[in-house]
């Protein structure tokens, strides 16, 4: 099961590289669809790393899950405030669909990274 996460991570990384490469070869602007593949790379590889820690449903794994969700909510609240501030000041022009893709990427990436950081501290 653990190796499946690694295989998925590598496949998503190859798709991410393919999308970025085709965007730059075509001379177009940044493709926000590639962010979803990048977030899936991070999710797959973090699950590959965290699999031994979360395999048994003991007190340590429960504490890792609870703390990572708690810290994720704090970070999400800060990011929503930052995004609202950026949209109010309007220093950059971004379409709504692209902003949603960016938010979805952050929703996937932040808990994955925080779970790794929390597991290092516990």
pLDDT, tens only, 90-107: 877 778 888 889 999 999
Q: Looking at 7-11, 41-45, 96-100, 106-110, which range is the least confident one?
A: 96-100
Query: Dihedral, CA atoms, 49, 55, 58, 62, nearest 10 degrees?
Result: 50
Q: What does the pLDDT average to over 25-41?
A: 90
Termini Cα distance of the chain: 24
Q: What is the pLDDT at residue 5?
A: 94
Choose among 103, 105, 114, 100: nearest CA to 40.
Answer: 105
Predicted TM-score of the model (pTM): 0.87
User: What are the extents of the domains in the chain?
Assistant: 2-121
């Amino acid at each position: 099961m653990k190796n499946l996460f690694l295989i998925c991570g590598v496949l998503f990384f190859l798709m991410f590289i393919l999308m970025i490469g085709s965007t730059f070869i075509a001379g177009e602007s940044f493709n926000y669809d590639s962010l979803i593949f990048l977030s899936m790379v991070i999710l797959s590889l973090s699950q590959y790393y965290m699999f031994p820690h979360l395999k048994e449903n003991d007190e340590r794994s429960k504490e890792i899950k609870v703390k990572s969700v708690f810290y994720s909510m704090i970070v999400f609240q800060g990011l929503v405030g930052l995004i609202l501030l950026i949209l109010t000041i309007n220093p950059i022009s971004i379409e709504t669909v692209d902003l949603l893709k960016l938010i979805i990427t952050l929703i996937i990436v932040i808990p994955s990274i925080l779970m790794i950081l929390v597991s290092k501290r516990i």
